[in-house]
Amino acid sequence: MRRNSAKILADGRAVNWLGANFWSRTGGPLMWRNYDGQTVLSELSVLREHGLTVTRSFFYWPDFMPEADRIDEELTARFADFLDRHAEMGMVTVPTFVVGHMSGENWDPSWRHGRDLYSDVWMVARQAWFAGEMVRRFAAHPAVCGWLITNEMPIYGGEAPRETIASWAQIMVDAVRAAGGHQPVSLGDGAWGIEISGKDTGFSVADSARLCDFIGPHVYPVGTDQVRQHYAAAWACELATTFGRPVILEEFGVSSDFASDENAAHYYRQVLHNSLLAGATGWLGWCNSDYDDLIHQDPYRHHAFELHFGLTDSRGVPKPQLEEMKAFADILNAADIAHCERADSETALIVPAYLDTSFPFTEPGDRTYLAQTLHQAYVSARLADLAPALTRESGGVTDGARLYLLPSAKHLLSPTCYDLERLAAGGATVYASYSPGDNDNHPGPWSSRLNAMFGIRHTLHNGLVDPIEDDQVTFTFTRDFGAITAGARLTFSVAGSAYSRAYLPVQPDGADVIAVDSRGRPALLLRRTGAGSLVLCTYPIEHMAAATPEVNPEATSVLYDALAVHAGVRRLITVEDPRVATDILVHQDGTRFAWLVSQAAEAVAVKPQLAAGLRLSAIDGDTANGEVALVPFGVGVFRLAGGEEITSGQ
């Protein structure tokens, strides 16, 4: 299956954006009042020396538009100088128009008077006029490489009906185009729509993809598991890629008040490489500088941690995060990443329609439940070296995979059951794990063919779930399965609500039991059909892992590996250590690059297992034989030579 690798285009050429969101240390959001071109040039030069070529810049709206029909020309002249400084450094920027929210505070122009930003026609016209005026002034400048309509508008303008948001966005994008903005444009909303977060704010990523040239997730995860943290931005990017547009990780970062220098560097390294492998084609860290001289200025006065998100300190000295950006830039250049695509995948992770669609008489929490469960399943698949392609049930499950994963999904559309059986009969392996959901809205499997699909007879009781009795559940395999031998055991942590901490009581009715739980009940069952098979797990193992702190890596990745072997999934490179994940990018000239990403807190040495005829070499061409050494949370990038030569996208 294809994995989206769409690129931003500049003058018809594929490019990668690597840079930072930019506020000068002379004033943060108020930098235009205290603008100092030499300071800006110094700040840009440090970024440029570390391989960064792009900034995201901001028209602080209350200052640039002090009256409803007037632009502050002095500030626009300063912005013109700002662009000239970029050009002097060989850099470009993405200006952002409606900047009313920033770093923990909302600021209104004095003339807004509470008028609605989306549905008040006069207010929408004022925003469109402002965007058009900025485009007319600066679209011809060579330092402008794109446009963003807002900064995190769901926080500033709030939620609204989807039709209202889409209409506002259409008017704003049209204003940019009508004014001569030929560069790529997007909303700057954070891509926090229902299709990614499960929360319906009215900002739809699907609608944005129809209007915009790229999707730009903003990701600042808070969680209970470090590996999930390291894959949070990648997961958001992966979901965003399903809409076919280029994906820019528009905001990510870490305050030095929340993480040590060493751990901040680890986080940056993990986010950059994992999101690249998830389809991102641009990265804009938050942000370029610390702001210790602005402690008396809002928002830094009351959101003190916002002072220290910088890639440099407040004197311009690089922090370890910036060194990670430089190392990443070197890899991008060495691999000529703008001309690489993600290798195809033979594993598909199904995204149920209940994540991205508001169905009647259902619970909003069903969507956030799915978002968390799917994120964990994605981590497990990554640690099993599967690099799954995502397929959204709402658009129809895509053909072409050897293995389909449907983790802990309570809801399934009725036609999908027949589609999955068809895929299995055609030779695929379809895996699903049971879940009754985590609330009291008809707890149980919303599936029209559970018994017939999986060759079972469930013994559920109406309105009740069957609680898991123990704090851990152990599967014992009764036969060989994939790489797992008969008698082997897998142990899973048990977690969840009074409804979701439940198993599915079944009796086989045409299926073979391949593993039992500690009480002898069927835990994994396999039904063969046509040229393929369907595998049912009677425990919500992915959901339980998602609800467990510091759980990764855990046994689900071992099961996924066994499923892949059973399904005949072809992987060119794997690593036995479940803390190390592999993936492949393919250059348009056929060169393959292999990534090894470690989740180990200590240095590790691993011996990659390669498909027949392949050999590993350093990215600079030196031979890499035997073991590969990785520093704590380290990344290794290698050339994968030999075997059948391929081109990207095959």
pLDDT, tens digit, for every residue of 270-316?
999 999 999 999 999 999 999 999 999 999 999 999 999 999 999 99
pLDDT, tens digit, for every residue of 387-423?
999 999 999 999 999 999 999 999 999 999 999 999 9
CB 275, CB 9: distance < 8 Å:
no
Band of pLDDT at residue 548, cut at 50, 70 and 90: very high
What residues are paired with 574 via a beta bridge?
A: 609
**Whose structure tokens read 């799915």?**
370
By DSSP bridging, strand 573-574 and strand 489-493 are: unpaired
Give the three-class secondary structure for 460.
Answer: coil
Main-chain dihedrals φ then ψ at residue 617, nearest 5 degrees: -140, 160
Per this entry, what is the length of the chain? Answer: 650
Residues in contact with 576: Cβ distance below 8 Å, sequence separation at least 6, in sequence order: 606, 607, 609
Q: How far apart are CA 399 and CA 426, in angstroms?
A: 10
Residue 433 CA from chain centroid, whole number: 23
- pLDDT of residue 625 exceeding 50, the answer is yes
pLDDT, tens digit, for every residue of 95-142?
999 999 999 899 999 999 999 999 999 999 999 999 999 999 999 999
The secondary structure element, H or E, covering residue 371 is helix 365-383
Whole-number pLDDT of residue 642: 86
- pLDDT of residue 645 exceeding 70, the answer is no
Angle, helix 320-334 to helix 261-277, in steps of 10 degrees: 30
Whole-number pLDDT of residue 363: 92
Band of pLDDT at residue 619, cut at 50, 70 and 90: confident
Whole-number pLDDT of residue 630: 96
Q: How far apart are CA 369 and CA 408, in angstroms?
A: 10
Whole-number pLDDT of residue 415: 95
What are the tokens at 294?
């602005």
Band of pLDDT at residue 506, cut at 50, 70 and 90: very high
With a pLDDT cut of 90, the percent of the chain lying above it is 96
Band of pLDDT at residue 68, cut at 50, 70 and 90: very high
**Average pLDDT score, the chain:** 96
**C-beta contacts of 46-50 below 8 A and 24+ residues apart:** 46/312, 46/316, 46/318, 46/322, 47/19, 47/20, 47/91, 47/288, 47/311, 47/322, 48/89, 48/90, 48/91, 50/311, 50/318, 50/322, 50/323, 50/325, 50/326, 50/329
**C-beta contacts of 318-322 below 8 A and 24+ residues apart:** 318/46, 318/50, 319/256, 319/261, 319/264, 320/261, 320/262, 320/264, 320/265, 320/268, 321/253, 321/254, 321/264, 321/265, 321/268, 321/285, 322/46, 322/47, 322/50
User: Can you give the pTM of this predicted structure?
Assistant: 0.96
Reference 173, options 165, 159, 185, 191; nearest CA is 185
CB 188, CB 216: distance < 8 Å:
yes
pLDDT, tens digit, for every residue of 354-379?
999 999 999 999 999 999 999 999 99
- pLDDT of residue 199 exceeding 90, the answer is yes
pLDDT, tens digit, for every residue of 549-596?
999 999 999 999 999 999 999 999 999 999 999 999 999 999 999 999
Report in angstroms the alpha-carbon separations of 455 from 303, 309, 517, 522: 57, 54, 19, 12
Q: What value does the CA radius of gyration of the chain take, rounded to a whole number of Å?
A: 25
- Cα-Cα-Cα-Cα torsion 30, 33, 38, 39, nearest 10 degrees, comes to -20
What are the tokens at 557?
């990745």
62 upstream amide cis, omega within 30 of 0: no
Report in angstroms the alpha-carbon separations of 88 from 26, 146, 287, 293, 472: 20, 18, 21, 27, 61
Q: How far apart are CA 389 and CA 491, in angstroms?
A: 27
By DSSP bridging, strand 456-458 and strand 489-493 are: unpaired
Q: In angstroms, how far is the first alpha carbon of the chain from the final one?
A: 9
What are the tokens at 492?
């899973």
Q: How far apart are CA 276 and CA 3, in angstroms?
A: 12
Report in angstroms the alpha-carbon separations of 633 from 329, 430, 597: 18, 32, 7
Band of pLDDT at residue 646, cut at 50, 70 and 90: very low
CB 352, CB 366: distance < 8 Å:
no
Whole-number pLDDT of residue 644: 61
Arithmetic mean of pLDDT, 60-83: 98
By DSSP bridging, strand 580-587 and strand 340-342 are: antiparallel
| Amino acid at site 76 | T
Whole-number pLDDT of residue 222: 95
Q: How far apart are CA 354 and CA 411, in angstroms?
A: 7
Band of pLDDT at residue 11, cut at 50, 70 and 90: confident
Sign of CA dihedral 203, 208, 213, 217: positive
Band of pLDDT at residue 643, cut at 50, 70 and 90: confident
Give the three-class secondary structure for 458.
Answer: strand
